[in-house]
Structure 1
Amino acid sequence: MKLGIVYNNFLSPKFAGGGAEHAYEVVKRLTKYFKIVYYPSSPVFIWDKEVLIEKAKEVEREGIKITPEFYSILEEQNKFRIRGIKRFLLSDKIAKEVSKRYSVDVDFLYEPDHTSFDIFYLGKSTKFGLTLHLPLFYNNSIKYLRRLVKFYKFNPYTGKGFYTRFLYNELYSKPKYKRLLKKYKPSFIAAVSKGPLEESGITGEVLFPGNAFDPELLKYRNRGKEDYVVFWSRLNQDKGIHEIPDILKRIQAKLSKRVKLVLMGRFFDKYNEKLFWKKVKKYGLNVEYLGFVPREKLYDVVSRAKLFIYPTHIDGFSLVVLEALALGTPVVAYGIPAIRSVYYGLKAVKIVEEFDQEDMSRKAYEILSLNEKDMDEIINEPKLLDFLKLHSSWDNVANSVRDVIMKYAS
């Protein structure tokens, strides 16, 4: 069976996040079951031609054949190489134009990490499916607005805030996708957890397992804990960066002592960074900022932490929670749909209602008060070890994707 892959980030010049990692690891393995033809989607054409050619060679070395038309489109790349607000305004038109230049000759089309409109236009005359790592849109407008007001707020330096995201969802994303889904109905929509489907208000398949971690992480487990908590992710409002100092302050009040936070990652912008450090100084908190660190260093730091504090508001699965568990570190997180659907029921993951800083600090206090024996019990719980075994192989994820494709391709 010939399977067409529609995607952009295989050719990205830099690491494009967890969705791109999922897509690469899965499609690489799908070459064992299907004859793969890769149709690079329209967003790739913003990158330098030389970079695209070099990345294309890397992809083909993995057994992922790129359709010849891609190289023809590269010759007229300047037509599609548009950036900034103009790119946003013309993204649909560019996707249509690029799609017209591909001759689709496969049995089924699949997008492993939905990032552009191309899959809908390429799938006009071919069965197709796609996997969501984040919601297509937020279906419950009032709930979404209330959440945005609480965590996204307003950036006076950029003029952007909760209202820009809300208007994007209401005036563009939601109506656009509802039209596309009606006009070009996919054979299936899958997701890496129930979260993206639930928040989009659509039904679909849930991949199980939806993601995996590198089994090398397991060697860092059970090396002993040091007296600090950790946070690492994108350092922005989506991940609750502004709330961390408030939560840390509450934890300290309960423990009656200072708590050290080790922080890793890059701040999204100077405004968010300034706000974070202003709170840290105001509360007199002990924060060690390591910035962006090599993976080996990150794994070592996380594995020795007593707790990973994760007040996230936007996630489709949360690889950082999975990696923390693999490294033997308990987690306390907001119970957004993705977190609940993947991690509910594990003793090492304490889930609280979104925005409930008091309950988060209470659950954190409980974990930080555990003795060594009790800590060992929750991070080596049989249910958690079974969960980690299932999620420690990308083969398992690829098999779940293959099964969904075969279900709808026949």
Structure 2
Amino acid sequence: MTIVVIGELINQGGGSVRNEELLKRFKSKIDFIFIPSIRWNIYPALVNLNYCRRLKEKIFELNLNIPDFILKLLEERKKYSVLNLINFISQRFGNVELAYSQAEIIEDLLLLSKLKSKHKGFIIQGFWFQHDIIKDFKFERSANPDLSVATVLINTIKRSLLRNIYFHYIIKRITFINTINPMNPEYTILTRKKNILKNVIFPGNAVTVPIIDSSKKEDYFIYAARLSPPKGFLLLPFIWKEVVKKEKVKLLITADRNTNDRNVIRLTKLIKKFNLDKYIEFIGYLNKENYYPKISKSKGVIIPSLGDSYSMAILEALSLKTVYIGLKLPTLEYLYKDIEPVFLEENVNGIAQRILRILNMKEEEYNSMFDNEKVREFLKLHQSWDLVAKLELDTFLKLIK
């Protein structure tokens, strides 16, 4: 019996962390062949030597069973188009019992659809499209306030229309879908197909953080996410210009300012436009030893994401007794509606006003939000990667018993 798992490694973000934690645990339960993500691993490794080295190091660190022809690809680093890569890899597999993708990355799903397998499935981790080009346009417009309407429209067509076409093709070849959040628009749309097995993984994430005294907060807030437009990082200057009208408080961003990264440049332009250089500070990418204390001392984690599903950053903030402030999304409301230190606001102005109210909270009032049975139970439920791995593994093992 052959099982194939496709997944993303080594990249920043909760999805990659989740994949690695689950792969470690899958290994103790089943034998499987692993294929690194086409889009986020193999293709970048063929064009970037340092990235290729990091990927190979992670593969060997996790002791993953990678096909020899993929290792040879990484060794030779010949250039392929993404579609040629997908065809090259899929043609070298015979029949397999089950194939599974650890995320809904289009390129990985195209590979999944081409594998000869009785059972094919994937898990929806993110929040990528609404299946409605008008809603998608509004999403893109909100996430990219610095771009022209024409540019946003072109991006929407590329993003929304192409994903819809691909999913229409892929979904006909899928037998099961998992999700970590049933309110995810993709899940509600894709599972309308009646003969697809549907599974909700809850809890869908876990987090383990060191014990740190978080009772003494300092007057700063922190953005702790990737600089990706769907994460809402370009909304931060619009929020902060409202905050500093009342309180001269700092926002820290976990990214490097001195870089040619396009998103950093876009954010920097907005910071300068609103004259916020004194109040928004780039502190670089932090390792966990420095990251957790920074979160624990902050007054709040701010991620005005337009498309979160099951954010690791929220779990980390709660575990470190730090409030989270973001936008109101059906996916986040589903998970956190009864969790007092999670504030979900209607818009940018609502986030700014919430920040000001938190700044004016007394220490006892702030800390009391975490002295709550619902918060304790929620965090206890999200402490075990073993549980998450078991729940996810069960969804496809039951198909091949």
TM-score by length of 2: 0.84
Partner of 1:274: 268
Measure the CA separation in 2 of the matches of 1:260 and 1:51: 33
- Report if the CA contact (8 A) 1:109-1:127 is conserved: yes
Equivalent position amino acid for 2:239 in 1:
I
- Report if the CA contact (8 A) 1:151-1:238 is conserved: yes
Matched, 1:337 2:333: no
C-alpha distance 221-189 of structure 1, shift in aligned 2 (>3 A): farther
Partner of 1:292: 285
Measure the CA separation in 2 of the matches of 1:145 and 1:180: 23
- Report if the CA contact (8 A) 1:20-1:113 is conserved: no
Aligned-residue RMSD, C-alpha: 3.0
Q: Summarize the alignment of residues 4-403 of structure 1 with structure 2, pairs less than 5 Å apart.
A: 4-7=4-7, 9-10=8-9, 14-40=10-36, 42-43=38-39, 44-48=42-46, 55=55, 59=59, 62=62, 64-71=64-71, 78=78, 81-82=79-80, 87=81, 91-105=82-96, 107-115=97-105, 116=108, 117-122=110-115, 124-135=116-127, 137-153=129-145, 155=147, 161-182=151-172, 184=173, 186-198=174-186, 201-203=189-191, 204-216=198-210, 219-253=211-245, 256-266=246-256, 268-269=261-262, 270-281=264-275, 286-353=279-346, 356-403=347-394
Measure the CA separation in 1 of the matches of 2:36 and 2:11: 17
- Report if the CA contact (8 A) 2:124-2:180 is conserved: yes
**Residues 5-62 of structure 1, C-alpha deviation per residue, up to 9 Å, x if partnerless?**
123x34xxx5343222211110210122212222445441552589768855753564
Q: CA deviation at 1:299?
A: 1.5
Q: Secondary structure at the match of 2:32?
A: strand
Q: CA deviation at 1:171?
A: 3.5
- Report if the CA contact (8 A) 2:129-2:186 is conserved: no
C-alpha distance 51-278 of structure 1, shift in aligned 2 (>3 A): closer
Q: Which runs of 5+ in 2 are unaligned?
A: 192-197
1:406 to 387, 397, 400: 397
**Residues 94-148 of structure 1, C-alpha deviation per residue, up to 9 Å, x if partnerless?**
313320112344x3221122332211111x3321211122246431221111222
C-alpha distance 395-151 of structure 1, shift in aligned 2 (>3 A): same
- Report if the CA contact (8 A) 1:239-1:310 is conserved: yes
Measure the CA separation in 2 of the matches of 1:279 and 1:375: 33
- Report if the CA contact (8 A) 1:127-1:187 is conserved: yes
More moved, 396-405 vs 186-195: 186-195
Measure the CA separation in 1 of the matches of 2:134 and 2:183: 18
Q: Secondary structure at the match of 1:65?
A: coil
Measure the CA separation in 1 of the matches of 2:38 and 2:266: 32
Moved over 6 A (4+): none
What is the identity percentage for the equivalent residue pairs of Structure 1 and Structure 2? 23
- Report if the CA contact (8 A) 2:230-2:305 is conserved: yes
- Report if the CA contact (8 A) 1:135-1:199 is conserved: no
**Residues 207-261 of structure 1, C-alpha deviation per residue, up to 9 Å, x if partnerless?**
2111222232xx12434111222222223433323322332333345xx432222
Q: CA deviation at 1:278?
A: 1.5
* Aligned length, in residue pairs: 384
TM-score by length of 1: 0.82
Measure the CA separation in 1 of the matches of 2:298 and 2:2: 47
Equivalent position amino acid for 1:139 in 2:
H
C-alpha distance 326-176 of structure 1, shift in aligned 2 (>3 A): same
More moved, 306-315 vs 266-275: 266-275
Q: CA deviation at 1:351?
A: 0.8
